[in-house]
Amino acid sequence: MSGARTGLRRRILLGLLGYVIVLSVAVVVHGFVVNEHAESLVWQTLLDSEMDHLLELRERDPDYPWTNTRSLAFYDGRDPAGMPAPLRGVAPGVYDEIMIDGVERVALVREVDGRPLALALDITDLEEREFDMGLTMLGSTVTLVVLLCIAIGWSVNRLLKPLRDMAQSIGRLRPDQAGQRIDTPDSASAELVVIADALNDYLQRNDRFVERERVFIDSASHELRTPVAVIAGASEIALQQPGLPEPARGQLLRIQRTTREVEQLVSLLLVLAKDPARLARSSDHVALDQLIPEIVEDHRHLTRDKDLHLDIQALPPCEIIAPLPIVQVAIGNLLRNAIEHSDRGRITIRLERPATVVIDDPGHGMTPEEIAEIYARVARGGGRDGGGIGLDLISRLCEHLGWRLDFASDEGRGTTTTLRMAP
């Protein structure tokens, strides 16, 4: 089973928020790179202009005295001791954010007549302002992202509300109610209208299909039960005739048993065709501790030609709510199956709580592969095999009613069949 699925709203929100965050980070990084490049150009231009002016003054007056100011200092490479350590031996160029005498500066180094000259500008105040501006930009970016998140969340809610309303309407559909439709508001998008129209068309076709099935089930229930009842009544009257030859009596008894089996099969098939909620309204209070002895007696004749004994063990009081014919069919056919696959010994039937019938037979048993094959046939809709109603149909009946049917067996050592009728 797959993990919990995330909602469309969450996916859209995460996608848009991720896009906003990535875009904001990209803008900030781009602004930082552009700022550093522009700053480098400004320092280059400013210091080059100042150095050119100084060299021009020295050309006019070789003894021109330079006086360092608080913000700008000049260093002549003729005196190595006078050149700050960070600028000694460096190649010509502009060097940003270097510390000279404990002050953060930007310096221009130029080689003139074989000796290095340097101009260093104090940028402490500028760096502090730049840091403050960076904090301001960061705060603005965070504020913008938060506002965009709020706007995106509101917009996504507005966009997805019609879809969410439609999903809730679909969730409220009841399979046992006809004439249900999905309504769309006038403001719905074209895509939602297409979805709603397609779903309404499906609901309409499903209503017609369900109606055909209901009519068929009602007709089949009447048309199938009537001839079966006629056959059962005729065979009952025929058995009461005096002087009936024994071979004819045997055949009439066979007709009676087959008629009962057909009645059970019809009842089971009709139950499988109905919704479990409808079945619950037409169920009976069934006392299993009283019903099981009757079912055992009805099947005892199947052991006449075998060295088999049917033993009823513990039958604590137990009552369930279920269709009586279906309970008889389920227990009876599991007992029939145990008798058909056993030759000698004892078949025990017991009742456990809650509403659990256990049948132990001394039959041929089944391998794990054969048990798995029974469940596989049920899963893929396999057919019957053997007499009576097959295990496949009984298993499908249990699944339909919320019951559970289990087999435990070893080949050659018999089978334990457990029917749990408590959902």
Contact residues for 184 (Cβ-Cβ < 8 A; gap 6+): 162, 166, 192, 193, 196
Residue 161 located in a structural domain: no
**Span of 27-31, 139-143, 219-223, 255-259 with lowest mean pLDDT:** 219-223
Nearest CA-CA partner of 47 in 118, 128, 129: 118
Assign 198 a pLDDT band (cuts: 50, 70, 90): very high
Q: Kindly state whether residues 256 and 314 are assigned to the same domain.
A: no
Q: Which of the listed residues 128, 146, 164 is the one where a domain comes to its end?
A: 146
Residue 336 located in a structural domain: yes
- What distance in Å separates the CA atoms of residue 34 and residue 103, rounded to the nearest whole number? 25
pLDDT exceeds 50 at position 70: yes
Query: Which residues form the domain of 208?
Result: 175-274
CB-CB contact of 397 with 376 (8 Å):
no
What pLDDT does residue 234 have?
85
Question: Mean pLDDT across the stretch 65-84?
Answer: 80
Q: Kindly state whether residues 112 and 184 are assigned to the same domain.
A: no
Q: Which of the listed residues 102, 129, 146 is the one where a domain comes to its end?
A: 146
Question: Mean pLDDT across the stretch 147-157?
Answer: 87
Total H helices, total E strands in the chain: 9, 11
What pLDDT does residue 386 have?
42
Residue 259 located in a structural domain: yes
pLDDT exceeds 80 at position 374: no
- What distance in Å separates the CA atoms of residue 346 and residue 309, rounded to the nearest whole number? 5
**Span of 41-50, 263-272, 323-332 with lowest mean pLDDT:** 263-272
Average model confidence (pLDDT) across the chain: 81
- What distance in Å separates the CA atoms of residue 407 and residue 419, rounded to the nearest whole number? 9
Q: Kindly state whether residues 183 and 291 are assigned to the same domain.
A: no
Question: Mean pLDDT across the stretch 139-158?
Answer: 86
CATH value at residue 336? 3.30.565.10
What pLDDT does residue 369 have?
67
Q: Kindly state whether residues 257 and 297 are assigned to the same domain.
A: no
Residue 140 located in a structural domain: yes
Residue 2 located in a structural domain: no
Residue 262's CB is within 10 A of a number of other CB atoms, namely 16
Assign 385 a pLDDT band (cuts: 50, 70, 90): very low
- What distance in Å separates the CA atoms of residue 290 and residue 276, rounded to the nearest whole number? 25
CB-CB contact of 54 with 74 (8 Å):
yes
Q: Kindly state whether residues 211 and 108 are assigned to the same domain.
A: no
Assign 387 a pLDDT band (cuts: 50, 70, 90): very low
Q: Kindly state whether residues 286 and 270 are assigned to the same domain.
A: no
Assign 388 a pLDDT band (cuts: 50, 70, 90): very low
pLDDT exceeds 70 at position 321: yes
Q: Kindly state whether residues 191 and 263 are assigned to the same domain.
A: yes
Residue 313 located in a structural domain: yes
pLDDT exceeds 70 at position 383: no
Assign 280 a pLDDT band (cuts: 50, 70, 90): low
Q: Kindly state whether residues 328 and 395 are assigned to the same domain.
A: yes
pLDDT exceeds 80 at position 106: yes
CA-to-CA dists, residue 281 to 6, 241, 313, angstroms: 38, 41, 32
pLDDT exceeds 70 at position 199: yes
Q: Kindly state whether residues 268 and 291 are assigned to the same domain.
A: no
Residue 234 host element (H or E)? helix 190-239
Question: Inter-axis angle of helices 391-401 and 368-380, to 10 degrees?
Answer: 60
- What distance in Å separates the CA atoms of residue 396 and residue 404, rounded to the nearest whole number? 10
What pLDDT does residue 384 have?
42
Do you find a cis peptide bond into 247, omega within 30 degrees of 0?
Answer: no
Residue 264 located in a structural domain: yes
- What distance in Å separates the CA atoms of residue 244 and residue 241, rounded to the nearest whole number? 6
Number of separate domains in the chain = 3
pLDDT exceeds 60 at position 1: no
| 76 backbone dihedrals φ, ψ, rounded to 5° | -105, 130
Q: Which of helix, strand or coil describes residue 76?
A: strand
Question: Mean pLDDT across the stretch 17-36?
Answer: 86
Nearest CA-CA partner of 357 in 292, 308, 423: 292
- What distance in Å separates the CA atoms of residue 412 and residue 43, rounded to the nearest whole number? 98
CB-CB contact of 285 with 319 (8 Å):
yes
CB-CB contact of 344 with 306 (8 Å):
yes
Residue 156 located in a structural domain: no
Q: Which of the listed residues 226, 251, 274 is the one where a domain comes to its end?
A: 274
Per cent of the chain over pLDDT 70 is: 87
Question: Mean pLDDT across the stretch 9-28?
Answer: 85
What pLDDT does residue 375 have?
58
pLDDT exceeds 50 at position 41: yes
Q: Kindly state whether residues 198 and 99 are assigned to the same domain.
A: no
pLDDT exceeds 50 at position 307: yes
CB-CB contact of 347 with 360 (8 Å):
yes
Q: Which of helix, strand or coil describes residue 10?
A: helix
Residue 380's CB is within 10 A of a number of other CB atoms, namely 8
Nearest CA-CA partner of 386 in 347, 325, 334, 348: 334
CB-CB contact of 351 with 289 (8 Å):
yes
pLDDT exceeds 70 at position 310: yes
What pLDDT does residue 389 have?
56
Q: Kindly state whether residues 260 and 299 are assigned to the same domain.
A: no
Residue of higher predicted confidence among 374 and 379: 374
Q: Kindly state whether residues 88 and 105 are assigned to the same domain.
A: yes
- What distance in Å separates the CA atoms of residue 139 and residue 91, rounded to the nearest whole number? 39
Model confidence, pTM: 0.47
Question: Mean pLDDT across the stretch 398-417?
Answer: 78
